[in-house]
């Protein structure tokens, strides 16, 4: 648990962070967000005292951070940054082992831990252990950076815009990986970003800062449906709030059993799936907006998976002009379907809490 109490930072007589108070429970994924210069990075860096506090207190699991020796404190806290900060003269394995070595773990324990972390981030130890940072792609380097931050099993993980410098596709993959790692490890994470979509993808709590002050601190959905003021409303972007809500919801919450016989999609339209011997969908009959396509071959581009966000599912429906998407499992077997109608009909399903980490 991290408690910030009246946190203040003054540079040259100006408060860049002013009286910020918030509490992040153990296991939460807290995201600090706001326009540039709002003090989100400074706030983060005060937690591991890379930036000294001007006022207020930070309590980490009951300890006042200013009362601990800075180096000792930092070894209890993982830290990952945008430029990765990997040491170019050390191999991937040695980079990951940085903090365990500082803590003088025995060698065999370090080796085991490095292998474990590399497996967690899908980096094949045989291939990557002895590589150097300059031999990695941006996404791989960032994975190593996060693995290094987690190496000594820290109480808290701080991440300062870690995915800000990678391309959009890699960023999405890293975000998905981060959600999984958070689920697997149950770590308390404080994450700084300026990208609202990223915040909505990851956060269980969002803190919106502006001009050094904390404007609102809440669950993501509540920030959207109950903004504290116009700034929050504007920052979250009124225009596609509906889509943003869908980006916090997952296909598995909306899917229903597949119709293997003709079933009414909309009044006047009906559809059914044809499967191959392995149970994989191959043809969709009906459910198209135009009557010319009675039979549509199922294509990989418009298949949904249970973990996909509803925003993505909706996008596929619109782009490929189909009213329903097949939901398949890892082997490609049809396990359900999700349709236009379903998107409208979920309100009663406790949607406000959708997107909390599945326990």
Partner 1 sequence: MTPPEGRRLVGNRVLTTLLVAAVASVALLPFASLSPNRLVSGQPVMLWQALAGWQFATLALIGILLLVAALAGPLPRRIALWLSLGATLPLLALDLQALGAYAHRALAEASPAARVSQGATFWILLFVSALIAIDALQRLRLGPSGRALYGVAALAVIGVCFSGELLSPLSIMREFANQRDNFIDQLVRHLLLVAGALLPALLIGLPLGLLANRRARLRNGLFSVLNVFQTLPSIAVFGLLIAPLSALGRAVPWLGELGVSGIGVAPAIIALVLYSLLPIVRNTYSGLAGVSTGALEAARGMGMTPRQILWRVEIPLALPVILSGLRIVTVQAIGLVVVAALIGAGGFGAFIFQGLGQYAIDLVLLGAIPTIVLAVIADFALQILVSLSRPSGTR
Q: Which residues bind partner 1 (CB under 8 A)?
A: 48, 50, 70-75, 77, 79, 81-91, 98-99, 102, 132-134, 145, 148-149, 158
Cβ 30 to partner 1, closest distance in Å?
18
Minimum CB distance to partner 1 smaller for 82 or for 204: 82
Cβ 174 to partner 1, closest distance in Å?
17
The token pair that represents 194 in the structure block: 């300026």
Cβ 187 to partner 1, closest distance in Å?
16
Minimum CB distance to partner 1 smaller for 133 or for 286: 133
β-pairing verdict for 2-11 and 55-60: antiparallel
Cβ–Cβ < 8 Å for 38, 210? yes
Cβ 212 to partner 1, closest distance in Å?
21
Could you tell me how far CA 98 lies from the centroid of its own chain?
25
Minimum CB distance to partner 1 smaller for 74 or for 244: 74
User: What burial class does residue 289 get, using C-beta atoms within 10 Å of its C-beta: 0-12 exposed, 13-18 middle, 19+ buried?
Assistant: exposed
Q: For residue 164, give the 3-state DSSP assignment.
A: coil
Minimum CB distance to partner 1 smaller for 58 or for 323: 58
Minimum CB distance to partner 1 smaller for 48 or for 193: 48
Could you tell me how far CA 38 lies from the centroid of its own chain?
21
Residues facing 359 on adjacent strands: none
Q: For residue 7, give the 3-state DSSP assignment.
A: strand
Could you tell me how far CA 331 lies from the centroid of its own chain?
25
Cβ 90 to partner 1, closest distance in Å?
6
**Helix (H), strand (E) at residue 138:** helix 138-150
Cβ 136 to partner 1, closest distance in Å?
11
Cβ–Cβ < 8 Å for 60, 121? no
**Helix (H), strand (E) at residue 144:** helix 138-150
* Cα distances (Å, whole numbers) of residue 49 to 31, 53, 67: 18, 7, 11
Say how far apart CA 79 and CA 44 lie, in whole Å: 10
Cβ 60 to partner 1, closest distance in Å?
14
Minimum CB distance to partner 1 smaller for 135 or for 238: 135
Cβ 264 to partner 1, closest distance in Å?
58
Cβ–Cβ < 8 Å for 192, 161? yes
Residue recorded with tokens 């770590």: 187
Minimum CB distance to partner 1 smaller for 128 or for 235: 128
Q: For residue 61, give the 3-state DSSP assignment.
A: coil
Minimum CB distance to partner 1 smaller for 71 or for 277: 71
Cβ 65 to partner 1, closest distance in Å?
13
Minimum CB distance to partner 1 smaller for 20 or for 149: 149
Say how far apart CA 155 and CA 347 lie, in whole Å: 37
Q: In what order do the strands lie in the sheet with 188-193?
A: 77-81, 156-160, 188-193, 29-33, 205-210, 213-218
């Amino acid at each position: 648990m991290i408690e910030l109490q009246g946190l203040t930072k003054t540079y040259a007589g100006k408060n860049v962070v002013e009286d910020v108070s918030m509490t992040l429970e153990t296991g939460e994924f807290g995201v600090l967000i706001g326009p540039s210069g709002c003090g989100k990075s400074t706030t983060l860096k005060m937690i591991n005292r890379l930036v000294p506090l001007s006022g207020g207190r930070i309590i980490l699991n009951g300890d006042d951070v200013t009362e601990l020796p800075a180096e000792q404190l930092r070894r209890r806290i993982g830290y990952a940054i945008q430029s990765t900060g990997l040491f170019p003269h050390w191999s991937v394995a040695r980079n990951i082992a940085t903090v365990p070595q500082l803590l003088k773990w025995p060698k065999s324990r370090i080796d085991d831990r490095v292998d474990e972390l590399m497996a967690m981030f899908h980096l094949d130890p045989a291939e990557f252990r002895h590589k150097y940072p300059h031999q990695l792609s941006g996404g791989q380097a960032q994975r190593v950076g996060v693995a290094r931050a987690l190496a000594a099993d820290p109480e808290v993980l701080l991440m300062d815009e870690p995915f800000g410098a990678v391309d959009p596709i890699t960023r999405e993959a890293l975000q998905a990986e981060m959600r999984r790692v958070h689920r697997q490890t149950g770590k308390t994470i404080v994450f700084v970003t300026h990208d609202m979509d990223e915040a909505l993808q990851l956060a269980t709590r969002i803190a919106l800062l502006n001009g050094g002050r904390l404007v609102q601190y809440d669950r993501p959905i509540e920030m959207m449906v109950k903004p504290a003021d116009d700034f929050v409303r504007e920052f979250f972007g009124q225009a596609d709030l509906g889509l943003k809500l869908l980006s916090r919801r997952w296909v598995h919450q909306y899917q229903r059993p597949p119709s293997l016989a003709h079933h009414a999609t909309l009044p006047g339209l009906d559809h059914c799936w044809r499967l191959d011997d392995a149970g994989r969908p191959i043809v969709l009959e009906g459910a198209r907006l135009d009557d010319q396509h009675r039979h549509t071959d199922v294509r990989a581009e418009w298949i949904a998976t249970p973990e996909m966000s509803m925003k993505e599912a909706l996008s596929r429906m619109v782009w490929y002009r189909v009213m329903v998407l097949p939901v398949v499992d890892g082997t490609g077997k049809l396990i359900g379907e999700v349709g236009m109608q379903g998107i409208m009909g979920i309100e009663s399903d406790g949607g406000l809490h959708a997107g909390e980490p599945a326990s």
